[in-house]
Amino acid sequence: MEHDPHGEAVTAVGVEKLRAWWSHRQWLDRPRTGASAAEVLAATGWARSVGGAAPYLGLFARAGLGRAAVDAEVARLEVHELPSARGCTYVLPAADFALGLAVGAAAPVGELASAEKHLGVGRDEVEKLCLAVERVLSEDEPLDPTTIREAVGDAVRSLGEPGKKRGVATTLPLALGLMQSRGRIRRVPVNGRLDQQRYGYVGWDQPVAGDAVDLARRYFSWAGPATLRHFRWFSGFTAATARRAVAEANLVPLTPGSELLLPPELADEFARFTPPRESRPTLLAGIDGIHLLHRELPRLLDPADAARPLPTGRAGRTFGGEADPQTHVVLDRGRIVGLWEYDTERAGIVLLPFVPLDDALREAVARTEDFVREELGDARGFSLDSPRSRAPRIAALRAAGARVIGRTAG
């Protein structure tokens, strides 16, 4: 963090205070037991979903929520996985459905423009396909893409080898992307779970509303203090759009002249905030919001940890030189203090700590291990992650000194 342009502000307030504050605002200083998934996501930010365990791990860490409770909220549409910021999928609370769709709408439009340019796909052709898809969908019974394709018949066109090379085999994904962004359809996980990527589609009538300023206000309430650069990364907005949104969000600098900004209603709270003295370790996914809202990994690392050789990456790389963690992480008061993965063969967590083991860390590992083993079955990082593909990462962690220390260790 000392190399950042906002380094003077960091020095002025203290790295430990900033990290602990980010952890506090992310509800990672203590579990808010009794909060719903919708309440957690509204307060701490949308949860990135890539077919892995990240949403479940984050909600468990913040509110002690089990998988069944989260899945029930998904079924009741109190939370839902939607394409939103940068066109990426996040799990959002219902209050943010309209905004999430609005800020993600540019992505499918861009995909259609690319298909028009490179694959000869006409806009009218895709709009007619949208109407055909809408006619065959109901609001109750999900249809998978194969069934939809069969139902609409010739309205779908193959894009041949050129399309396959661009990852668009037919015109159907273009139509489904547009319809999702317009709130006309939604994807439903086939088994009701967020940690997989098999979906059906149902009809929907969800309004789409909100703009860049609305997102800026939410973002800085979740992530502040943060910079314009951080907000641009999260939102995917152009520089001009991001600057205008930040200016109209009425934010204040952390210290005079600092690039780190936060909402004025949080400034006094930050000034009064004191970092906890006792250890508060938490096990999270590598793409948890505590990292991904800013996507500036060194701010969560002590210099000695940033200089550590990367156990799961290419030779010569250091942990602090990566854009993202290559494994799941352990956080304590905003600092990454270890790496972990779930070993399905031993049904236990393999931990590489950066700090001495104490009772608090052992209990955090055991608690998360129980949750993963009993409720998730695995802790995949993303949809294509598997015990087999994860084996080299676990072996690398073990070679660096990791071991199983949870309840299965004995």
Q: Of the residues 225, 250, 272, which one is the last residue of a structural domain?
A: 272
174 and 140 in a common domain: yes
For residue 195, being part of any structural domain is answered with no
293 and 215 in a common domain: no
38 and 152 in a common domain: no
For residue 314, being part of any structural domain is answered with yes
398 and 354 in a common domain: yes
For residue 51, being part of any structural domain is answered with yes
For residue 194, being part of any structural domain is answered with no
For residue 409, being part of any structural domain is answered with no
Give the tokens for residue 82.
């939607």
With 0-12 / 13-18 / 19 or more C-beta atoms within 10 angstroms meaning exposed / middle / buried, residue 123 is middle
Neighbours of 392 (CB within 10 A): 10
296 and 384 in a common domain: yes
For residue 283, list its beta bridge partners.
330
> What pLDDT score was predicted for residue 347?
93
Cα-to-chain-centroid distance, residue 220: 16
> For residues 15 and 320, what is the distance between their CA atoms, to the nearest angstrom?
16
398 and 376 in a common domain: yes
Q: Of the residues 181, 200, 233, which one is the last residue of a structural domain?
A: 181
Residue from 111, 83, 109, 110 nearest 96 by CA? 83
Tens digits of residue pLDDT in 173-230? 999 999 999 999 999 998 999 998 889 999 999 999 999 999 999 999 999 999 999 9
> For residues 260 and 273, what is the distance between their CA atoms, to the nearest angstrom?
17
- Give yes or no for a contact between 93 and 81, defined as CB atoms under 8 angstroms apart: no
Question: Strand locations in 84-156, DSSP E?
Answer: 89-93
219 and 84 in a common domain: yes
For residue 232, being part of any structural domain is answered with yes
Residues 6 or more apart whose CB falls under 8 angstroms from that of 229 comprise: 259
- Three-class SS of residue 351? strand
Tens digits of residue pLDDT in 20-36? 999 999 999 988 999 99
> What pLDDT score was predicted for residue 384?
87
Give the tokens for residue 59.
């909600």
> What pLDDT score was predicted for residue 7?
57
> What pLDDT score was predicted for residue 340?
97
Residues 6 or more apart whose CB falls under 8 angstroms from that of 239 comprise: 232
> What pLDDT score was predicted for residue 409?
72
Question: Strand locations in 38-83, DSSP E?
Answer: 47-48, 79-83
Q: Kindly give the parts of the chain with pLDDT less than 50.
A: 1-5
- Three-class SS of residue 284? strand
166-180 as b/e: b if 16+ CB within 10 A = eebebbbbbbbbbbb
Q: Number of structural domains, the chain?
A: 3
The 8 Å CB, 24+ separation contacts for 323-328 are: 323/295, 323/297, 324/286, 324/287, 324/291, 324/292, 324/295, 324/297, 325/286, 325/291, 325/297, 326/286, 326/393, 327/286, 327/381, 327/393, 327/397, 328/57, 328/283, 328/284, 328/285, 328/286, 328/379, 328/381
Strand-strand pairing, 348-353 and 335-343: antiparallel
> What pLDDT score was predicted for residue 16?
94
* Verdict on whether the full-model pTM lies above 0.85: yes
> What pLDDT score was predicted for residue 362?
95
> For residues 65 and 270, what is the distance between their CA atoms, to the nearest angstrom?
28
> What pLDDT score was predicted for residue 410?
59
- Domain extent for 56: 7-101+211-272
260 and 142 in a common domain: no
92 and 128 in a common domain: no
For residue 197, being part of any structural domain is answered with no
330-366 as b/e: b if 16+ CB within 10 A = bbbbbbbbbbbbbbbeebbbbbbbbeeeeeebbebbb
392 and 287 in a common domain: yes
400 and 308 in a common domain: yes
151 and 27 in a common domain: no
Q: Phi/psi at 192 (nearest 5 deg)?
A: 80, 5
The 8 Å CB, 24+ separation contacts for 119-122 are: 119/159, 119/162, 119/163, 119/166, 119/168, 121/157, 121/159, 121/171, 121/174
> What pLDDT score was predicted for residue 394?
93
For residue 322, being part of any structural domain is answered with yes
